[in-house]
Each structure stands twice: as C-alpha cells, then as structure tokens.
Amino acid sequence: MLCTSAPGKKKAKIQVKKGELFLRRYLTMLYIMGYDEIEILFDGKARIERLRERLEELLGYALMDQGEHHVSIRNVAAPMEEESEAMQRRAFTILTNMAKELPDAWQGNDKDALARIAELEPLMDKLTNFCKRVINKVSSAERSHATYSFIILDHLEKMSDQFCHLASHLKDAKVTQRPELRSIMASLGELVAQLERLYFHMDKKALPGFKEKRKQLVAAIEKEFEHCRPKEARILAYCSALAELVMDTELLLVFL
C-alpha cells in the first residue's frame, strides 16, 4: 500500500492481490485516517460488490471511476467535516436513547422496539467513523485533545455494539423479567445520559456522584452474577462490559 500526502489532501494507492480478505477493513482504516483519494489496483478483475456495501457506511466517500482492474474512490463531502460536533452530538443522542429505551422495550415485550435498537449499529459505526476521520484531519496543535476525543468515540462505538447485542438477545431469548435486571439496565441508561451531559458540559463537581452511581451499578451486577440463570448471565455480561466502557470514558472526560 502506497500512501502520499499533499497540502490539504491525502492520497493512497492499494495493490490488491488475488484473494485479499481485508480490503474493506483497509478502506475503513484509510477513511478514518483522513485520506481523500484512494486508488485500488486489482491483480485480476476488479471486485466491487462488497466495496459498494462498505462505501455506504463511509460518509462522504464515493466511487468516482471504475475499470476492469482498478477502482478510484474520492471524498466528495469535505464541507461536511465542519459538522463534526453535530455528528458527535447525534451519536451521543442515539446511544443515550438506545440505553434509556432498552429496559422499557424489554419490560413491555416490545420486540419491534428491541429490533430497532439492534439495527442501529451500522448508523453508529457510520457516525463515529466520520467523527474519527475529522479528528485525524485536525492540526497537530490540537492533537492532545483530539486523541482523547478519538478514544471516547471508540468507546461510544463499542457501547453501541453492546447495546445492539443485548437488544438482540432480549428480543430472541425467553428470559424471565426480574425487577433486578431491569433496574440494572435502567441504571445504565441513566449513566449514559449523564455521560453525554458531562461530555458536552463538563461539571467536575458532578464526577464524584457519577463515580458512586457507577460503583453501585457494578456491585449490583456482581450480586446478580452469584445466582443468575444462563440466559441472565449473558445479559449481565453485556451490562458488565457496558459499565466498564462507561468507566473508561468517564476517566477521559477530565482531559477534554
């Protein structure tokens, strides 16, 4: 893979060997890294079906040229990069809504609502990848702040993955609705909502209370693990992973 940079524009050229398994992953990586033009050269006939699917997930990227042995991709939405903060707010809002709607959807046995939550993963990936891309295009003077923002976005993406998996499990598995489990999920929703408020309007005085609520949540999860059934254990595993991601994100807020 050959990568070059020009003032304000980064270009990459990829030589794809027959049977290359990671092309879509490379494309996402270059997108996040801030590349504006990508040329893909194939040893054999160009294979673009799966590339088209990935391009739909990468805001601003478009297929500009296609030949028998090559494909050219270009960023056609540079002005959208000015909307990074709006995209971050949208990602946080979607995550908060997922977290708060999940326990009610489960309690109401609303499988359609659970399915809608489970289907939000691609949208969250699209938003967080776009924001990561913009961060990688900022000046070095802002690099310290940008690094922490990048990691937080990565945590948001992982949290959305966990909520989607949890929603899918709750939709398909027959799990007895115990108040303790719903309370744990509701507490997660409250923490994610508070995390969103702290990210955009930091209040260091609120951090001790946030930390205490998180510790109480972890203790409740550990208590339920002691006597849970197998299908409940999976729910608790998702909640435990989410609690850890909330903690990791909380620890980064003070650096912003």
H, E, C per residue of the chain: CEEEEECCEEEEEEEECCCCCCHHHHHHHHHHHCCCEEEEEECCCCCCHHHHHHHCCCCCEEEEEECCCEEEEEECCHHHHHHHHHHHHHHHHHHHHHHHHHHHHHHCCCHHHHHHHHCCHHHHHHHHHHHHHHHHCCCHHHHHHHHHHHHHHHHHHHHHHHHHHHHHHHHHCCCCCCHHHHHHHHHHHHHHHHHHHHHHCCCHHHHHHHHHHHHHHHHHHHHHHCCCCHHHHHHHHHHHHHHHHHHHHHHHHCCC
Interior CA angle at 162 toward 245 and 149, to 5°?
A: 40
The predicted pLDDT at position 14 comes to: 85
Give the CA dihedral 171, 177, 180, 182, nearest 10 degrees: 40
Q: How far is CA 51 from CA 11, 21, 58, 137, 190, in A?
A: 18, 12, 11, 23, 38
The predicted pLDDT at position 21 comes to: 63
The predicted pLDDT at position 53 comes to: 85
pLDDT under 70 in the chain at which residues? 1-8, 18-21, 46, 78-81, 139-143
Do the beta carbons of residue 61 and residue 75 sit within 8 Å? yes
The domains located in the chain, with CATH, are 2-76 (3.30.110.10), 81-253 (1.20.58.220)
- Cα-to-chain-centroid distance, residue 6: 30
Identity of residue 252: L
The predicted pLDDT at position 9 comes to: 76
Q: What are phi and psi of 18, to 5 degrees?
A: -60, 130
The predicted pLDDT at position 110 comes to: 95
The predicted pLDDT at position 29 comes to: 92
What is the C-alpha to C-alpha distance for residues 190 and 210, in angstroms, rounded to an integer? 10
